[in-house]
Structure 1
Amino acid sequence: MTAARDGSRRLVAAADEAALAIGLRPGQTIAHAQASVPGLVVVEAEPEADLLALGELARWCGRYSPVVQADPPDGVLIDIAGSSHLFGGETGAVRDLLRRVRRSGYSAHASLADTPGAAWAVARFGGGGIVPTGGAAKAVAPLPVAALRLEGETCRALALLGVERVGQLAALPRAQLTRRFVRTLFERYERVTGLAPDPLAPIVPREAPCVRRAFPEPLGHLDALAAALERLTGELCRELERRGEGLRLLDTILRRVDGQPVSLRVGASLPTRDPAHCVRLVGERLQTVDPGFGIDEMALLAARVEPLRARQEEAVATLEAETRDAAALAPLVDRLGVRLGTERVFRAAPVESRVPERSVKRVPALAPVTGISWPEALPRPSRIIDPPEEVRATALLPDYPPKSFVWRRVRYNVASADGPERVHGEWWISDAKMAELRDYYRVEDEKGRRFWLFRNAPTPEGTRWWLHGRFT
């Protein structure tokens, strides 16, 4: 644990999981903690170094959203409303964040809610998790009043009145409590439950190209926002051209008159500084923005950039065919990624494996070609059934192709068959995989329908047949 001074006293500033498990808590005196646990390891706290580390962590969290705020002493607030689609949705973004942070050696809890205050409260006092939309008040009701970020003295005064939970506080008459306590008591409750705005102050990396515009009058119409977006995009792309860079991630931050930021994040599959392309990408998501009572500021931030030489835009005709084709497809891939989600835009690439379900993988749509291809002498069906479905087949002899089989309660009589094609498991994966054995047959039934079946190695239950694909 770490120790910090509070006047003449030394208090526990932070404790690890082992210390928490035996009852030690931040705020205790070091003397009491050492008396409770002989041989306790105590190091001096370094709040300035901790603050710098938290700032670095907050900047790293910019990979998830352009709106990130460090929340000392140990928290980070992230608005992922406009960027969660890049990680497979809100659940996928939270799961990926926790996995990466914990892999870096941090102990972390995360919560997702409509408001920063509700997410803060549930993460620290509710064990974390995702709060359903509109459920902030219900989620914080059973939590202690300290979940509203109240001072210890205020919490103790409320405890004397019998108010220990947030839900109890909401049921009390406000006029009496406001006279006794500070007015911020209910202001914090309203921010947590979404009744009042609770804006974030996002960190903007100094090195990132950024342009912003404050409007004399708030813009409430999407056409006016689109016109402002077009002007700012032109300025940003000229700055990128001056620096010899192209953007890969573009963040659009809109500040509403109530102080609440709205963030949109779009990605480019290849570095670009084409203003028209950038406007189209952001325009796809601009239609989802609720301007509220108006937008009074817009900022464009090139969150991720890569070197982009002039010839990539001005002399595309001289590039190799593969690069030229990728540059031509990039705008379409980017727009599909904005509409469908980047994880849904991919292409199939061959893998050096004779096992059918492992002979293909998903790769980014514009990933470079590796040169690997499937052997032409190995015909494969156009439709693979993954995982294979078990069928009941009848064969004259154990090593013969089936004469008939039943699949999904329908019997198919085999008129002709070709095979077997024997496939072994890959020895480099595991010994168990190497022992796998399949005999594949291409069969055609009496009506001309063609199927791809395989028989696995004999087992104590007998040989089993599986349908793995259909030819068209």
Structure 2
Amino acid sequence: MPNRRILSIWFPRLAAERHIRRDPNLGQVPFAVVRDVGQAQVLASLSPLAQAAGLYEGQPLRDAHAMCADLLTRLSNVHAEAAFLGVLHRWAGKFSPWVAREAPDALVVDLTGCAHLFGGEEQLALQVEQDCIDLGLSVQLGIADTLGGAWALARFGGGQGGDHHRNGDAIDQEARATRSRAGKRRHWERGGAAPAVTMAAVQGRARIAAPGETYKALAPLPIAALRLEDSTMAQLSRLGLRRVKDLVEQPRAGLVRRFGRGLVARLDQALGALPEPVSPAPPPDRFATRMSLPDPIGLEDDVMAAIDRMLPRLCTALRKKGRGARTLRFEAYRADGTMQWMNVTVAKPSDDPDHIRPLLRLKIEDLDAGYGIDMLRLEAVLHEPIHLRTASGHLEAAEAGRARMAGPKPGSLDRLIGRLGTRLGVEAITRVQPADSHIPEKTWVTVAAAWSDPVTHWPQPTKPRPLRMWAPEPVMIPDVPRLPEVFRWRGRDHKVHSARGPERIAPEWWLDDPAWRSGQRDYWDVITAEGQRLWLFYAHGASKSSGWFCQGAFA
């Protein structure tokens, strides 16, 4: 069984270089990504020019502008940075199938049994660094027998403290007795800015711990390499414990009594005495297909012919995973380097090409081919599981056939919603569903038809409800709970022929509904002499004035 080997890939400028990749002009000036901390903004990620200007992570933005007036900033986007790290997670899968993320800016790769495929660990490290150079990313690597050891070598190996402002060895934290010896220590040990290092120097630094020699590689590193809390590092620094070697030589019982078990656990994890597994997140399922064309096309029939080849492959991949496409993205890459895309949303998840093809046909009519299209791509950007279908026998098949002859075909409503939604938008197609409330105007809710199921049973109220309802309109009669024989509504006098009621409805006391601040209501089913059947109520008045109102009309 080969020794376990872990690779830690740290991107120290991930957030800043994500913006520089999108806008290369930001790489020509001092640039930083800022994040909100309380009521202030601090620097979260720096470009090389910003770091060369003396700025550092965690520095308040106002201080950074005072030191560098030309500094450009962008606000941190945590979700976009996590998505970018997810893309790098897929890229790291070329080196090993066992890859995990270390938010917000690092990856962990279990290289056990994989390094020889790339010519050894040194050649693999060079390949990782070269790929990152091609991607425009800064990177620092560390390889060791443990996850903690690889993490420490990636950030502090090779004689450079990657997190120098957190290494627990700053001059301002030292006791007075040690200040006289501070000048004899190396630059990075004193907490100063690390010297600029070229990529060739990075490749030459010893960031790879030989198998079984993790302690030898970690011993000269600062205690910050053990992933300790800032308060713990400050206390250790005051005691003169500055390197991993100094900590290992101390009695473990005393360390546990004074600093707790967390310190010893981190030390054991780095040296391999305590296991620390790599827990990779499985990559999400991606369903996409593309077709490169030998010559640019521009006719609608040619585009549909390409779709007829791509769509079955996509649906086959979905069917193998038990998934159905809900939203598809169709991309057309033109010969002039531009691209046009469009989304198609179906009412129900589907893996049937005959169901999806008519919806794509409607969208293709709006496609602008320009100087010609030389590549097409189709992706299921949103997909959902499809329940397994049970094969039916002869009796069930005969019954299903009679049902199809008697009424609409199964799925015809979903197809209609999909076709209408392609033109009008899926959100524009709605349906009404019952809601759980005793308030008359809250007994139903309007939902999107594509994201809901039709109602098979509508609960009937205990009392009759009007066919049409509107906002309560005032009725001009005396303010008494007794229904009079004549009332005035909408500028006309109405004579009561018959009335049924009252039905008392109380407001939802756990909600503050402005429309029901008038308190309890007594509803009456009133038939006028002209034949109108109205729904009147008397509001008893709580925080608002009382009175009579009309809210609806029966059929």
Cα distance change, pair 335–242 in 1 and its aligned pair in 2 (3 A): same
TM-score by length of 2: 0.46
Match of 2:546?
463
Matches within 5 A, 1:31-430: 53-56=82-85, 207-308=285-386, 311=389, 327-365=411-449, 367-368=452-453, 373-385=458-470, 388-394=471-477, 397-400=480-483, 403-407=486-490, 409-429=491-511
How much does 1:301 deviate? 0.8
Matches within 5 A, 1:6-45: 13-17=32-36, 27=50, 29-30=54-55
RMSD between aligned alpha carbons?
A: 4.6
Task: Tell which deviates more after alignment, 17-26 or 447-456.
Answer: 17-26
Greater percentage in strand: 1
Please tell me whether the aligned partners of residues 215 and 296 of structure 1 are also in contact (alpha carbons under 8 angstroms).
yes
How much does 1:269 deviate? 2.9
Please tell me whether the aligned partners of residues 396 and 403 of structure 1 are also in contact (alpha carbons under 8 angstroms).
no
The one-letter code matched in structure 1 to 2:55 is I
How much does 1:424 deviate? 0.5
In 2, Cα distance between the equivalents of 1:363 and 1:460? 33
SS of structure 1 residue aligned to 2:382: strand
1:440 equivalent to 2:465? Answer no
Deviation per residue, 1:323-378 (Å, 9 max, x gap): x9874432122222222222222321212222112111123436347887433432
Cα distance change, pair 405–296 in 1 and its aligned pair in 2 (3 A): farther
The one-letter code matched in structure 1 to 2:459 is W
Cα distance change, pair 393–414 in 1 and its aligned pair in 2 (3 A): farther
Please tell me whether the aligned partners of residues 248 and 270 of structure 1 are also in contact (alpha carbons under 8 angstroms).
yes
The one-letter code matched in structure 1 to 2:474 is V
How much does 1:422 deviate? 0.9
Please tell me whether the aligned partners of residues 246 and 273 of structure 1 are also in contact (alpha carbons under 8 angstroms).
yes
Cα distance change, pair 58–456 in 1 and its aligned pair in 2 (3 A): farther
In 2, Cα distance between the equivalents of 1:337 and 1:238? 25
SS of structure 2 residue aligned to 1:419: strand
In 2, Cα distance between the equivalents of 1:57 and 1:410? 69
Deviation per residue, 1:244-294 (Å, 9 max, x gap): 332222111111222222111122232211112101112222222222222
Which runs of 5 or more structure 2 residues have no equivalent in the other structure? 1-11, 14-29, 65-75, 89-103, 106-282
How much does 1:35 deviate? 12
SS of structure 2 residue aligned to 1:15: strand
1:453 equivalent to 2:478? Answer no
Aligned residues: 309
Cα distance change, pair 241–396 in 1 and its aligned pair in 2 (3 A): closer
The one-letter code matched in structure 2 to 1:337 is G
Please tell me whether the aligned partners of residues 524 and 535 of structure 2 are also in contact (alpha carbons under 8 angstroms).
yes
Task: Tell which deviates more after alignment, 247-256 or 356-365.
Answer: 356-365
In 2, Cα distance between the equivalents of 1:459 and 1:310? 55
TM-score by length of 1: 0.54
The one-letter code matched in structure 1 to 2:467 is S
In 1, Cα distance between the equivalents of 2:300 and 2:63? 63
SS of structure 2 residue aligned to 1:454: strand
Cα distance change, pair 399–14 in 1 and its aligned pair in 2 (3 A): same
SS of structure 1 residue aligned to 2:301: helix
In 2, Cα distance between the equivalents of 1:35 and 1:359? 53
Quote the sequence identity (%). Answer: 29
The one-letter code matched in structure 2 to 1:341 is G
Match of 1:169?
none
The structure having more radius of gyration, on CA atoms, is 2
SS of structure 1 residue aligned to 2:476: strand
In 1, Cα distance between the equivalents of 2:61 and 2:439? 64
Please tell me whether the aligned partners of residues 351 and 372 of structure 1 are also in contact (alpha carbons under 8 angstroms).
no
In 1, Cα distance between the equivalents of 2:43 and 2:462? 69
In 1, Cα distance between the equivalents of 2:306 and 2:413? 27
SS of structure 1 residue aligned to 2:531: coil
In 1, Cα distance between the equivalents of 2:83 and 2:31? 19
In 2, Cα distance between the equivalents of 1:337 and 1:360? 23
The one-letter code matched in structure 1 to 2:430 is F
Deviation per residue, 1:164-193 (Å, 9 max, x gap): xxxxxxxxxxxxxxxxxxxxxxxxxxxxxx
Which runs of 5 or more structure 1 residues have no equivalent in the other structure? 5-10, 39-46, 60-72, 75-204
In 2, Cα distance between the equivalents of 1:12 and 1:257? 35
The one-letter code matched in structure 1 to 2:316 is R
The one-letter code matched in structure 2 to 1:30 is L
Please tell me whether the aligned partners of residues 486 and 493 of structure 2 are also in contact (alpha carbons under 8 angstroms).
no
SS of structure 2 residue aligned to 1:380: coil
Cα distance change, pair 12–360 in 1 and its aligned pair in 2 (3 A): same
Please tell me whether the aligned partners of residues 391 and 406 of structure 1 are also in contact (alpha carbons under 8 angstroms).
yes
Task: Tell which deviates more after alignment, 355-364 or 24-33.
Answer: 24-33
How much does 1:227 deviate? 2.8
Cα distance change, pair 35–428 in 1 and its aligned pair in 2 (3 A): closer
SS of structure 2 residue aligned to 1:427: coil
